[in-house]
Amino acid sequence: MLEKLDMRYCHLLKTLPESIGNMSSLTDLFLDNTMITTLPESIGMLERLRTLRLSQCAQLRQLPTSLGKLKSLVYLVMPGTCVTELPQEFGMLTSLTSLKMRKELNRGQPLNVEDNPELAEPNQSNALKHIVLPESFANLCSLKEMDAHAWGFSGSISNNFERLSSLEDLNLGRNDFSSLPSSLSGLVLLKKLNLSHCNKLTYLPPLPSTLRELNMANCTALESIYDLTKVEDLEELNVTNCSNLVDIPGLQVLKSLRRLFLGGCKACFPAVKKRIEKVALKHLYNLCVPGSEIPRWFSQEVSHFAAPKNREIRGIIFAVVVSLDSVNRGNIPLPAIVDIKGRLLRIEDPIHTTVLNLMGVPDTSEDQLYLIRFPEFKSMVQMLKEGDGIDIVLRDPPCFPGVSLKKRGIYLVFENDDDYDDNEEWLDESQQSVSQKLAKFISSL
């Protein structure tokens, strides 16, 4: 009658008895952080099993073929194992909605057979195999989220991928495939797609119109992407360090975009800066582009809050120019720079401090410009009172000693400052909206 068996962190556990298949009521089996090397074939008899957790089972190298008999399995969580191949029967898991099997870097090296011969079977030492998904994988019609980060998939991803029609969150980062199927656009429920560090991918095919987040950071071979015009609900686009990318067609129509990271993208910036229009800048919360200047109309000292008559505060825009000492960075990619802080000062004392989370960290020591807009619902904006000051400071000591804050600026956005929707090019600069002036500034970089 046992329904849940939790053996997490039993560090000496190496095997399970075949009799585990007799536990007909078992719904949850947790084996995280054990020394288990294999699963018994009888595990396929657990017809009610819904959750199987194998996280950080570093000695586990193979899954039994009987796994496909787990008709009730909904969650399979197995990051950090040494499994490099899924059984052909895997596609029989028709109830599976969540598959988490990511691998992490092993002392800086990808966890795949090609780069780690010791992971190969003895008879494969001279002819290392390519890691691919089994053909039956496309039968997982209930799968909603899949994390296969750093599995070492190579070659081409099968066109059958579009049959995973329930996918909403897909992470294929740090893999070695050279192309993606054109049928990717058929994943009509997909909202998040992570392809970061896919260093052999040269082209991004059409994407589903439902996509909200696209991470292409560090795809160093990427040269072109299909027009994004139809992906009109995209909220986050990260192409940091895509040094060979020459343009992002369709960027100018993405009115829902909130976060855009172009750090280290010198090749495409001449084309892209013309596509970053007023309509996008009005709604962007985070923007990172190559640049060493800030708008001259930003306050470069402490900015004091003095509300114009009958006009409410609508937001704060922070501008910083940052560079990194790449010599000190080593091979560890930084997800964000967290050493720059915005402070709210009252009678010269800081009463509120927030980290300016500078994402899209470039793999270069060249200057990068970050624009961060805090809308009116943020605490710093809501707390503002007459006479308060706002400044930008570098954390002392910094978490990362290679960070250099070159320039800083602050602009307070009030009611009517950014509310004009029509064409403004004919207006004098003093009459233009904040977003129109920002668009003109970025095009001049």
pLDDT at 315: 93
Kindly state the average pLDDT of the residues 276-283: 88
| 378 Cα distance to chain centroid | 23
Residue 253 to residue 267: CA distance in whole angstroms: 21
Predicted structure pTM score: 0.90
Lowest mean pLDDT among 38-47, 69-78, 115-124, 317-326: 115-124
Residue 372 to residue 370: CA distance in whole angstroms: 6
Sequential DSSP letters for 32-98? TT-------GGGGG-TT--EEE-TT-TT-----GGGGG-TT--EEE-TT-------GGGGG-TT--E
Kindly state the average pLDDT of the residues 305-323: 91
| pLDDT over 70 (residue 432) | yes
| pLDDT over 90 (residue 398) | no
The answer to whether 442 and 346 are in contact (CB under 8 A) is no
Kindly state the average pLDDT of the residues 412-439: 86
Confidence band for 5, pLDDT divided at 50, 70 and 90: very high
73-110 tens-digit pLDDT: 999 999 999 999 999 999 999 999 999 999 986 533 34
The residues that bridge with 319 in the sheet, in sequence order, are 371, 409
Percentage of the chain exceeding pLDDT 70: 92
Residue 2 to residue 24: CA distance in whole angstroms: 8
Name the fold adopted by 303-428: Jelly Rolls (2.60.120)
pLDDT at 278: 87
| pLDDT over 60 (residue 121) | no
| pLDDT over 50 (residue 174) | yes
Query: What Å distances lie between residue 151 and 110, 138, 154, 172, 237, CA to CA?
Result: 8, 17, 9, 8, 23
The answer to whether 250 and 231 are in contact (CB under 8 A) is yes
Is the Cα dihedral 294, 296, 297, 302 positive or negative? Answer: positive
Query: What Å distances lie between residue 121 and 114, 175, 394, CA to CA?
Result: 12, 21, 51
The residues that bridge with 390 in the sheet, in sequence order, are 303, 344
The answer to whether 246 and 223 are in contact (CB under 8 A) is yes
Q: Where are the domains of the chain?
A: 303-428
Pairwise pLDDT comparison (76 vs 153), residue with the higher score: 76
Helix (H) or strand (E) holding 326: helix 326-329
